[in-house]
């Protein structure tokens, strides 16, 4: 199982939302074709042409915030981007 597949499985399982590395969450979105741009401070913003929502992420230490992991999971389930 590749790193990307492992991250995707962890996020889709919903069992460890508070234990997803921020870098891994960003990596997954980038592999799904999202464009990353730096926001204010440590905010990172992701967008994609065929996705209505804009994802605004901010780390909590080196982890992603649990509610933001849930937002990404809902986005993946709704739009089913090609993540490889």
Asked if residue 84 is part of any domain, the answer here is no
Q: What is the DSSP letter of 17?
A: G
Asked if residue 56 is part of any domain, the answer here is yes
Domain with residue 56: its CATH number is: 3.30.920
Q: Which residue range is the domain that position 63 belongs to?
A: 3-79
Task: State residue 1's pLDDT score.
Answer: 79
Asked if residue 31 is part of any domain, the answer here is yes
Q: What is the C-alpha to C-alpha distance for residues 48 and 46, in angstroms, rounded to an integer?
A: 7
Does the global pTM surpass 0.85? yes
Asked if residue 72 is part of any domain, the answer here is yes
> Are the C-beta atoms of 83 and 28 separated by less than 8 Å?
yes
> What's the pLDDT tens digit per position in 7-45?
999 999 999 999 999 999 999 999 999 999 988 889 999
Task: State residue 17's pLDDT score.
Answer: 96
Asked if residue 52 is part of any domain, the answer here is yes
């Amino acid at each position: 199982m590749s790193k990307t597949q492992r991250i995707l499985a962890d996020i889709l399982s919903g069992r460890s939302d508070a234990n997803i590395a921020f870098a891994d969450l960003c990596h997954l979105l980038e592999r799904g074709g999202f464009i990353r741009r730096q926001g204010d401070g440590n905010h990172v913003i992701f967008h994609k042409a065929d996705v209505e929502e804009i994802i605004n992420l901010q780390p909590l230490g080196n982890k992603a915030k649990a509610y933001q992991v849930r937002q990404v999971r809902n986005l993946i389930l709704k739009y089913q981007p090609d993540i490889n």
